[in-house]
Amino acid sequence: MAEDFWGPIFAKLHEDLELLKLICFDTSDSDLLSWVKPNPVLWSRASRYLRKKKVLDRQGLIGEILAFAAKEQALRKIIFYTWFEKNQQTFKFTTLAANQEAMNSLVKGDFGGPEKIEILAKIDPRQGMPDFYQKYLDFHRQQQPSSETDESRSETDESESDARQIKELEALNNQQQKELISLRQQLKEAQKTFSDRAAEITGLQNSLRERDHKISELENEILNLKEKIKQQKIDSVTVSLPEETLDQSEELVQASEKIAYLSEELDEKDARLTHLQNLLNQKDKSVNRLQEELKQLKNAINEDEDKERKIDNLQRLLKENQTIDLLKESGQIIVLPSDSGKSEYFLQSFSGNITKVPREILHVSKICPEEFCTAYIGASGLITEFESLETNKITTTGYLEKQEDTFYLCTAEEQFQVYCEVKDKHLGRPMRGVLLGEFQQRPEGIYSLSPHELPKENGFAETKIVSIDRIKQHLSLFIADKAALIDNLKLAGIDLKPRADGQIEFAQDYRQELDKARLKLNIVSVCESTSCQESLSENTLARKMRKHDVCSICHKKSENLFQLSDSLDFSGKKIVIFGGDYTGNEYVRFLNQFNIEATWVSGFDNIGKYRESLGKYDLAVIILRQTSHTLLREVSNSAAKANTPILYCKKRGISGLLAELKAYFQP
């Protein structure tokens, strides 16, 4: 039939949700997944019914699709036209006349089963066809009366069935909970047995290595003995020559006795070697037996994990039946100013509705502004709880820092821009922030902040008043003038006050304050040379040179560095180093003595002029612990275009970098 004939009919059918439900149940799993994957919101809601591209709960997945399609006309069209394209043979029936011959074709199944004909009955617009289809459906139901039980139930029977199903699910859940407790106990015992077996296997392996070593020693001894015996036989032949003196005869007797002694010793060694080989065979059998038991234990653990997944599905089904009266609304939390001057929170749903959200519910549900979530609305019309839809939501800890007019949460490895409200009293303090990933118009950053307090339980007590020696011990200082130390701490932004008794009073716990300012203090590394220590000025903070350090005065390397760097020559290689702040300038000076030309770029800078000039370097080095994600991506892309190799260095120390370069250039 012409397309203009079907157009108005299809437009009406798009709004028939009951027809869409029949179509979904008559659609394959692969087509269901093709509707879910392109839609990130629908995918996040339906992912709990899927596992590795397989449908675990078909009914639950179809329920989520229909709930979403009720508000999305585009998805309804996709569902309808997918079924239309996959069932062209069924649609050919609309070109036939409604006679007995057509009825016989339906009964034979030439145009599909009763499920497809029931859908076609709702689509076919021809007059008189509903009675014709009803006649076929009645005939089919008479042939299979047992299949009508579910469809002919009344609303009262359905409610009673739901109640019975809930009770059955609760009973089954209780039973599975008991089984889970038992299984967890068995799992603990199995894990303990596994640990014991693993330790036993390790011991056996060590014993086998010792046995192999002893066997090798015995074989060497046997070879030596054979050589000695051979040499003694040669000597005995020489001694037995005729016309020899009496002294030579005595030597022959002694040599013969020695040969007999060595032969006996050789026999003992052979017997011992045979015994050790038997023990080795027994150990091999024990190892094989233990490996088989280990395999059985792993299989038992996998079975326990399958049972736990089944229990989780039952609990989810039980929760869905218990919360069937709750309405769901998905969207994003937004912040809008109010007349009182305080910000208010709202849920902007995907359908365009805006609902005010109480701060208390957000705080309890741990949902932050700009986060995508699902709200559950009770019978009273108020939101009762939230469920997050974010998959890359991370909680991280760092300290707040202000750069120009922008706030950042700085961690040990990276800094993140803050997009929520910040109080001045929190600057420089440890804070816990919620990091949300980039999505559409929302940039990656921190959208919720809370102070990170030091724990006071388990014997930890806050200490605000300490002595100078305690401060030096915490910072590992061995040379530090009291006045210079106080001045340096104040310049680092620490709020402190000297006391009359010689101690220092901090605004907060001294460990928290000192750790916060550690990176801002200029602490030099000094070797044990008296001349280096005496050359330090009074206002210098110094610590003793550690392993892999370089003296800041005489530039002497530690013994470990001498062992590593002896006779190293990189033949004028040119490298550029990204990251490793607070050590970067030392990289260039230190590597210069090994005939390597190094350029250093801050890990929180942008690639800038190096984007086009990376091709002139033999190697690009990235210090992973002190390089931002943005710079890491830019360097990776630019280096790939310039065909410049990249070395990812996990260590940021000078010796660690030198060892990585030696392994790369001189493997």
Distance CA 607, CA 598 (A): 16
In the prediction, which pLDDT does 645 show? 92
Amino acid, res. 237? V
Tell me, what's the pLDDT at 574? 92
How much is the pLDDT for 146? 46
pLDDT tens track for 486-503: 888 888 888 888 988 888
Least confident of 3-7, 17-21, 384-388, 427-431: 3-7
pLDDT band at 300 (very low <50, low <70, confident <90, very high): confident
Helix H segments across 323-378? 359-365
With 80 as the cut, is the pLDDT of residue 323 above it?
A: no
Sequence-separated (6 or more) residues with CB below 8 Å from residue 294? 194, 197, 198, 201
HSE-CB for 96 with a 13 A CA cutoff? 17
| Residue 618 pLDDT grade (very low, low, confident, very high; cuts 50, 70, 90) | very high
Q: What is the mean pLDDT of residues 323-350?
A: 78
* Residue-wise burial string across 208-235, b where 16 or more C-beta atoms lie within 10 A, e elsewhere: eeeeeeeeeeeeeeeeebeeebeebeeb
Of residues 445, 457, 450, 436, the one with CA closest to residue 388: 436
Residues 659/630, Cβ–Cβ less than 8 Å: no
Bridge partners of 348, per DSSP, are: 332, 354
Length of the chain: 667
The helix (run of H) or strand (run of E) holding residue 621 is strand 619-623
Q: Which residue has the higher pLDDT, 305 or 189?
A: 189
**How large is the C-alpha radius of gyration of the chain?**
40
- Most confident stretch, 91-95, 329-333, 532-536: 329-333
Phi, psi of 301 (to 5 degrees): -65, -40
**In this model, does residue 537 exceed pLDDT 90?**
no
All residues at 6 or more sequence positions from 531 whose CB lies less than 8 Å from its CB, including other chains = 554
Give 247's pLDDT tier (boundaries 50, 70, 90). Answer: low
Q: Which two tokens stand for residue 92?
A: 């050919």
Virtual torsion, Cα 615, 619, 624, 630, nearest 10 deg:
0
Is the pLDDT reported for residue 575 higher than 90? yes
Q: What is the structure's pLDDT at 151?
A: 47
Beta carbons of 305 and 163 less than 8 angstroms apart: no
Least confident of 64-73, 205-214, 353-362, 365-374: 205-214
Alpha carbons 528 and 296: distance in angstroms, whole number: 59
pLDDT given for residue 410 in this prediction: 85
As beta bridge partners, residue 376 has 328, 385
pLDDT of residue 287: 80
Range with the lowest mean pLDDT among 129-143, 179-193, 222-236, 558-572?
A: 558-572
Residue 507 has pLDDT above 80, yes or no: yes
Residue 467, classed as helix, strand or coil, is: coil
Per-residue model confidence as pLDDT tens digits over 278-289? 777 777 777 888
Rounded CA separation 24/176 (Å): 32
> What does the H/E/C string look like for 41-104?
HHHHHHHHHEECCEECCHHHHHHHHHHHHCCCHHHHHHHHHHHHHHCHHHHHHHHCCCCHHHHH
At residue 148, does pLDDT exceed 60? no
Judged by average pLDDT, the poorest of 173-177, 319-323, 371-375 is 319-323
Q: Which of 370-374, 512-516, 656-660 has the lowest mean pLDDT?
A: 512-516
Q: Which helix (H) or strand (E) holds 252?
A: helix 246-322
Query: 526: how many CB neighbours lie within 10 A of its CB?
Result: 23
Alpha-carbon distance 382 to 376, whole Å?
A: 8
Query: Which has the higher per-residue pLDDT, 251 or 260?
Result: 260
Are 445 and 419 in contact by the 8 Å Cβ rule? The answer is yes
**Stretch 567-585: mean pLDDT, rounded?**
81
- Predicted confidence at residue 353, as pLDDT, reads 83
- Is pLDDT of 158 > 60? no
Measured CA angle at 112 (ends 111, 117), to 5 deg: 90
Share of the chain above pLDDT 90, in %: 3
Q: Is 566 exposed, middle or buried (0-12, 13-18, 19+ CB in 10 A)?
A: exposed
Q: Evaluate whether 344 touches 356 at the Cβ level (below 8 Å).
A: yes
pLDDT at residue 453, rounded to an integer: 62
Q: What is the mean pLDDT of residues 321-341?
A: 73
Q: What is the pLDDT of residue 1?
A: 42
Confidence grade of residue 179 (pLDDT, cut at 50, 70, 90): confident
Q: Which residues contact 25 (CB under 8 A, 6 or more apart)?
A: 62, 115
Tokens of 299: 């299989």
Single out the residue of 495, 494, 516, 519 nearest to residue 399, CA to CA. 516
Residue 592 CA: distances (Å) to CA of 246, 452, 600, 613:
80, 43, 12, 21
Residues β-bridged to residue 9: none
Give the model's pLDDT for residue 246.
Answer: 45
Q: Which amino acid is at 325?
A: D
Closest CA to 618 of 602, 600, 596: 596
- pLDDT tens column, 9-44: 666 666 778 888 888 888 888 888 888 888 888 888
Q: Does residue 304 sit in helix, strand or coil?
A: helix
What pLDDT, in 10s, does the model give residues 51-84? 777 888 888 888 888 888 888 888 888 888 888 8
The Cβ-side half-sphere exposure at 580, using a 13 Å CA radius, reads 25
The tokens for 371 are 């986060």
% of the chain with per-residue pLDDT over 70: 82
Average pLDDT, the chain: 77
Whether residue 348 contacts residue 331, with contact meaning beta carbons closer than 8 Å, is answered with yes
Which one of 223-227, 293-297, 364-368 scores highest in mean pLDDT?
Answer: 364-368
Q: If you average pLDDT over residues 414-423, what whole number do you get? A: 86
Weakest-pLDDT range from 392-406, 542-556, 619-633: 542-556
